[in-house]
């Protein structure tokens, strides 16, 4: 890797000390002896991708955002990497609540090549193409290609000289979008530990970009991931911090995405009263006729604002209000475009059907789920397979 081993070693040591671990204590938790770790931290040996990844897992991110993203993508391409089997870590999510030490911030690396907006737009174009593929075919399609692109071309671009400060900001923002997509693809493929690490990488790249609100988007997904996996220790704090960072930085309808995320985290954590209080703040943005104003790093994920009622539905379901949950799931299903967002449209229709089934509306459940069964079966996604299984178990196999 294109990194000074002494500088990387210093960051490894800073991460270990920040985690309150001695060399001996760290050596007892990872597959390297105390002496080897000492060599890596002093820079007498070059830290490998696996060494940095172990430090990231135990101590929190140790390298600068570019190196971390490159290492993560490279390990993901390497199918032997332990990262493919990495477990979700509540402690790792907690590190998202604190900014990196100044010593670990990315230092501009000068090279002969100057990067302009044309290169940034090229990254956007490739990311958008991968995103379209992901929405139609699922997280298993093109996952390795996304990781390879992040760890090679995009990492090299971020180490180049930038024509202006604005170009630099947009380049890091583009990299954050790609890392976020890589995280979502890993989540959709059932690799949530790996997804968490990509989301952390997206957060650090977004922080480095300085684009208002972009870092909040990554914090939001970290909070929701904990809620999804029933690892809720930090979910509310992550969602609250996301809303704070987004406040005043994004439009009203965009801010509603952060509000419903916080409501859902409260609901999943057992605080139904607070969830309902927060949900009331998002009510004005549930209307399908609301004028939409999303920055590009949001727009691809929710061009119609459907995430607002979709996450509200999950919050209502978590607090046991099935009537409100069914109404919001059905609204979200009507807002997702099945041509551009086939997977999430099909999943939302299935979620609506499952709620209707629990409420005794068998005809309504069958009516909304039957048309999307072929999509659920065709998309390469652990989530679609899981919801298909749930439909089969709930309805009996007659509907499938």
pLDDT in 10s for each residue of the chain, 400 residues: 445 788 788 878 877 765 667 888 889 888 899 999 999 999 899 888 778 878 877 776 666 788 778 777 877 776 545 555 666 766 667 667 654 433 232 233 334 467 899 999 999 998 988 888 887 777 777 788 888 889 888 988 898 889 999 999 999 999 999 999 999 999 988 889 889 989 999 999 999 999 999 999 999 999 999 999 988 889 999 999 999 999 999 988 899 999 999 999 999 999 999 999 999 998 888 765 555 678 999 988 988 889 999 999 999 999 999 999 999 999 999 999 998 888 899 999 999 999 999 999 999 999 999 999 999 998 888 888 898 898 888 776 555 5
Q: What are phi and psi of 265, to 5 degrees?
A: -65, -40
Q: What are phi and psi of 162, to 5 degrees?
A: -110, 145
CA distances from 85 to 36, 81, 186, 228 (A): 24, 8, 11, 18
- In which residue are the tokens 């997804």 written? 195
Helix (H, G, I), strand (E, B) or coil at 114: strand
Give the Cα separation of 5 and 41 in Å (integer). 8
CB atoms within 10 A of CB 113: 11
Question: What burial class does residue 221 get, using C-beta atoms within 10 Å of its C-beta: 0-12 exposed, 13-18 middle, 19+ buried?
Answer: buried
Q: What is the pTM of this model?
A: 0.81
CB within 8 Å of 148: residues ≥ 6 apart: 73, 77
Handedness of CA 176, 177, 182, 184 (dihedral sign): positive
Handedness of CA 51, 52, 53, 58 (dihedral sign): positive
pLDDT of residue 69: 80
pLDDT of residue 21: 74
């Amino acid at each position: 890797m294109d990194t000074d081993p002494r500088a990387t070693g210093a960051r490894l040591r800073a991460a270990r000390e920040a985690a309150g671990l001695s060399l001996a204590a760290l050596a007892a938790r990872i597959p390297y002896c105390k002496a080897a770790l000492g060599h890596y931290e002093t820079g007498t040996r070059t830290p490998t991708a696996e060494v940095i990844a172990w430090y990231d897992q135990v101590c929190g991110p140790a390298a600068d955002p570019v190196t971390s993203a490159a290492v993560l993508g490279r390990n993901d391409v390497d199918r032997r990497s332990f990262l493919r089997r990495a477990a979700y870590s509540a402690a790792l999510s907690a590190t998202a609540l604190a900014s990196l030490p100044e010593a670990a911030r990315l230092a501009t690396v000068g090279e002969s090549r100057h990067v302009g907006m044309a290169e940034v737009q090229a990254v956007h174009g490739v990311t958008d193409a991968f995103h379209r593929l992901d929405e139609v075919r699922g997280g298993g399609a093109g996952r390795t290609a996304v990781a390879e692109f992040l760890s090679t071309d995009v990492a090299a671009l971020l180490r180049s000289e930038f024509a202006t400060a604005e170009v630099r900001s947009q380049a890091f923002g583009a990299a954050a979008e790609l890392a976020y997509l890589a995280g979502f693809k890993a989540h959709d493929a059932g690799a949530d530990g790996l997804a968490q690490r990509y989301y952390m990488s997206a957060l650090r790249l977004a922080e480095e970009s300085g684009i208002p609100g972009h870092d909040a988007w990554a914090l939001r997904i970290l909070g929701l991931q904990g809620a999804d996996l029933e690892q809720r220790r930090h979910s509310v704090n992550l969602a609250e911090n996301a809303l704070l960072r987004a406040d005043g930085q994004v439009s009203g309808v965009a801010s509603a995405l952060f509000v419903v995320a916080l409501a859902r985290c409260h609901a999943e954590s057992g605080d139904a009263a607070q969830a309902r209080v927060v949900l009331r703040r998002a009510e004005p943005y549930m209307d399908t006729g609301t004028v939409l104003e999303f920055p590009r790093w949001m727009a691809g994920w929710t061009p119609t604002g459907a995430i607002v009622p979709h996450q509200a539905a999950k919050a209502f379901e978590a607090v046991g209000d099935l009537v409100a949950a069914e109404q919001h799931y059905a609204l979200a299903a009507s807002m997702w475009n099945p041509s551009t967002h086939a997977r999430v449209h099909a999943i939302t229709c299935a979620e609506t059907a499952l709620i209707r089934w629990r409420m005794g509306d068998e005809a309504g459940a069958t009516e909304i789920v039957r048309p999307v069964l072929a999509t659920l079966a065709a998309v390469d996604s652990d989530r679609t397979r899981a919801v298909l299984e749930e439909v089969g178990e709930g309805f009996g196999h007659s509907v499938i």
